[in-house]
Amino acid sequence: MSDTKLFDNVEVKKVVKKKRVLTQKQLDNLAKGRAKMKEKREALKKEQDKKGLLKKEKKAVKENTTIKKQNKIKKKQEKKDQDEAMTHRQKLLLNKQKKQQAEKLSKFDDLKSKWLCKTETIEDYDLVKEELDSIPEEDILDDDKLETSLLSIMQKYKGEDEE
């Protein structure tokens, strides 16, 4: 089917309207209006660009602050992990020290019982027990101090034996 024919053999012609002819004054005013709207659109676009830049700047600042916060949190977590690791190490060292102290105290108790077993009289037993009990725990834990204390006790009783 063609454009010009509608139904059977009836021709319909398209009506072509003539363009409206504007006067020069109307054309000038139309040009002024278009120029004015163009200026408004450009001003609005500049304003939106500024706002967009401001939004981008605000967004960048916000991202920077969030990154800083995340870094702060990471540093806190790392410090906490390091502290936990240090406390774990410290706990291990404390446990090791406690074990060593317990061993030294145990050895001293064994030594004390050996010395007390070697005493012949009750008075000697009481005197030796009193001397050994008078040694402070700090001296027992320090090998050098313990040795000097024990040597002084031994010399005391050797001196009594010679008399």
Instruction: Tell me how many degrees the CA angle 3-4-5 measures, rounded to the nearest 5.
Output: 95
What share of the chain has pLDDT > 70, as a percent?
89
Q: How many CB atoms lie within 10 A of CB 157?
A: 15
**Mean pLDDT score across all residues of the chain:** 83
pLDDT range class, residue 70, cuts 50, 70, 90: very high
161 has a pLDDT exceeding 70:
no
107 has a pLDDT exceeding 80:
yes
Query: Regarding predicted confidence, which is higher, 161 or 66?
Result: 66
Bridge partners (DSSP) listed for residue 5: 11
Tell me the chain's radius of gyration from C-alpha atoms. Answer: 53
pLDDT in tens, 9-27: 667 678 888 888 889 999 9
The pairing of beta strand 5-6 with beta strand 10-11: antiparallel
Bridge partners (DSSP) listed for residue 6: 10
Q: What is the pLDDT of residue 5?
A: 55
Take residue 161 and report the two structure tokens written for it.
């034996």
pLDDT range class, residue 1, cuts 50, 70, 90: very low
Q: What is the pLDDT of residue 66?
A: 93
Q: What is the pLDDT of residue 88?
A: 80
Contacts of 22 (CB under 8 A, 6+ apart): 30
Residue that the structure tokens 């030294």 belong to? 104
Q: What is the pLDDT of residue 163?
A: 44
